[in-house]
């Protein structure tokens, strides 16, 4: 499987990625500081030690789902799941809770954060992906292609006239090739194996190019995608 081994940014600074048994175990930053990752035989992340030697640990339940995260500052985050493996509640060290509610099809309907602010997700025309998100007086609309890939994200105040619009495009292999908003454009270029070799960023300053180097016989390795699909809960805290 193709794996990113080196990233060179526009300033020529190099970040290195090291693997064992196909799993990332060490990341070396341009200043030579290191991050370390420990995983179990199933590939689940057990611990992450950052460049300042701060260590975060994860525990898992019998179903292989995250049960608790132990932060470097001695705080914890506890995960609660239903019988279908859906995350229904998070509890932090202050006993504050974030809650999640689903419909019978497993689609996220409501998310209540630790601050008790609530976000609602709506699904039009039987879609399995949310087409609208209501967050206080802010509303977001999402458009997808037939493959379920995000094409447009439009957000603004309800009743307002001004919208923030982000658009995305993909190649025939499903690779993200273009992302654009009102202030910035990003473009990705791939080799024949589908590896992301170059990312071009054009904002309110000269274009910046990031180059990536891969092992031989590589396959696709995703380095950036649009933000997680609206309505999809992420439980991953390190890569």
Model pLDDT for residues 172-195, shown as the tens digit of each residue? 999 999 999 988 999 999 888 888
In the prediction, which pLDDT does 197 show?
Answer: 82
Asked whether residue 60 is domain-assigned, the answer is no
In the prediction, which pLDDT does 127 show?
Answer: 87
Asked whether residue 19 is domain-assigned, the answer is yes
To the question of pTM greater than 0.75 for the whole model, the response is no
Asked whether residue 11 is domain-assigned, the answer is yes
In the prediction, which pLDDT does 45 show?
Answer: 97
CA dist 19 and 47 (Å) reads 15
Asked whether residue 35 is domain-assigned, the answer is yes
Residues 13, 30: contact at Cβ < 8 Å?
Answer: yes
CA 239 remoteness from chain centre: 9
Asked whether residue 112 is domain-assigned, the answer is no
In the prediction, which pLDDT does 228 show?
Answer: 42
Residues 139, 156: contact at Cβ < 8 Å?
Answer: yes
Asked whether residue 31 is domain-assigned, the answer is yes
31-75 pLDDT tens trace: 999 999 999 999 999 999 999 999 999 999 999 999 999 999 999
Of 28-37, 157-166, 209-218, highest mean pLDDT: 28-37
Confidence label for 233 from pLDDT (cuts 50, 70 and 90): very low
Mean pLDDT on 146-158? 93
CB 27: neighbour CB atoms within 10 A? 20
Least confident of 30-44, 130-144, 210-224: 210-224
Mean pLDDT on 202-206? 68
Asked whether residue 4 is domain-assigned, the answer is yes
Residues 179, 167: contact at Cβ < 8 Å?
Answer: yes
Partners of residue 140 on adjacent β-strands: 133, 155
How many domains are contained in the chain? 1
Mean pLDDT on 203-215? 58
Asked whether residue 9 is domain-assigned, the answer is yes
Q: How far is CA 237 from each of CA 37, 57, 61, 234, rounded to the nearest angstrom?
A: 12, 11, 17, 8
In the prediction, which pLDDT does 234 show?
Answer: 41
What's the token pair of residue 144?
């997808």
In the prediction, which pLDDT does 48 show?
Answer: 98
Range of the domain at 28: 1-53
CA dist 112 and 121 (Å) reads 12
Q: How far is CA 110 from each of CA 99, 150, 197, 235, 239, rounded to the nearest angstrom?
A: 8, 21, 38, 17, 27
Longest dimension (CA), the chain: 53
């Amino acid at each position: 499987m193709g794996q990113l081994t080196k990233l060179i940014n526009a300033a020529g600074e190099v970040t290195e990625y090291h693997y064992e048994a196909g799993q990332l175990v060490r990341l070396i930053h341009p200043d030579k500081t290191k991050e370390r990752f420990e995983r179990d035989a199933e590939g689940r992340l057990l611990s992450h030690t950052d460049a300042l030697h701060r260590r975060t640990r994860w525990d898992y339940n019998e179903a292989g789902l995250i049960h608790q995260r132990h932060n470097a500052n001695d705080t914890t985050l506890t995960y609660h799941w239903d019988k279908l493996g859906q995350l229904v509640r998070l509890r932090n060290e202050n006993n504050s809770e974030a809650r999640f509610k689903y419909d019978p099809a497993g689609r996220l309907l409501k998310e209540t954060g630790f601050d008790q602010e609530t976000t609602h997700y709506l699904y039009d025309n039987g879609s399995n992906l949310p087409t609208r998100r209501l967050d206080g007086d802010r509303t977001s609309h999402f458009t997808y292609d037939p493959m379920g890939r995000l094409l447009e994200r439009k957000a603004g105040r309800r009743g307002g006239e001004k919208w923030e619009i982000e658009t995305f495009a993909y190649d025939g292999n499903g690779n993200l090739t273009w992302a654009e908003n009102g202030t910035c454009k990003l473009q990705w270029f791939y080799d024949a194996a589908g590896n992301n070799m170059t990312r071009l960023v054009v904002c309110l300053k000269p274009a910046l190019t990031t180059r990536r180097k891969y092992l031989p016989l590589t396959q696709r390795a995703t380095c950036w995608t649009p933000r997680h699909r609206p309505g999809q809960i992420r439980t991953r805290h390190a890569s």
